[in-house]
Amino acid sequence: MSGPSGSIDSVTLVLLYLVVLILVAVVLFGLGSVLFGRGEALPPLPATTTATVLPASGVTGADVEGVKFTQTVRGYKTSEVDWVLDRLGQELDLLRGQLAALRAAHGLDDDSEDADAPVRGGAHALPNGEEDS
């Protein structure tokens, strides 16, 4: 008589192991979700904006040095971004110096006064001149 009851006990034991395994998986999944987030995608930026800020015109090396990127877990390597920004700032300063020298050599007016004036429709402007509220 131990045959039929022995097989029922083994089926019950297998089902109990399966239930415990499922409970452990659910607990681990819940713990992972709490610790690492649920993985939602960030909402996209509006089409006419950027995450960084630079003047619409008259960008200088100091402007580029002042740019900061948002740091994320899966973001860019900070040392590489800093190197690129330093190089870009040096290049901008060099080109502006060459332009100023050429303008002075040819007796042209310097447009640097206009570069500091606010420009309507800059990099962070909304389409059709709408105001951000």
Any idea which of 30-34, 49-53, 85-89 has the lowest mean pLDDT?
A: 49-53
State the total domains in the chain.
Answer: 2
Does 22 fall in a domain? Answer: yes
Residues 110 and 65 grouped into a single domain: yes
Q: Which residues contact 124 (CB under 8 A, 6 or more apart)?
A: 48, 49, 50, 53
> What pLDDT, in 10s, does the model give residues 87-113?
888 888 888 899 999 999 998 876 655
Residues 28 and 67 grouped into a single domain: no
Name the pTM for this structure: 0.39
Q: What residue numbers bound the domain in which 115 lies?
A: 61-121
Does 110 fall in a domain? Answer: yes
Does 46 fall in a domain? Answer: no
Assign 3-state DSSP to the chain and report helix, strand, coil percentages, each to 5: 55, 0, 45
Residues 76 and 117 grouped into a single domain: yes
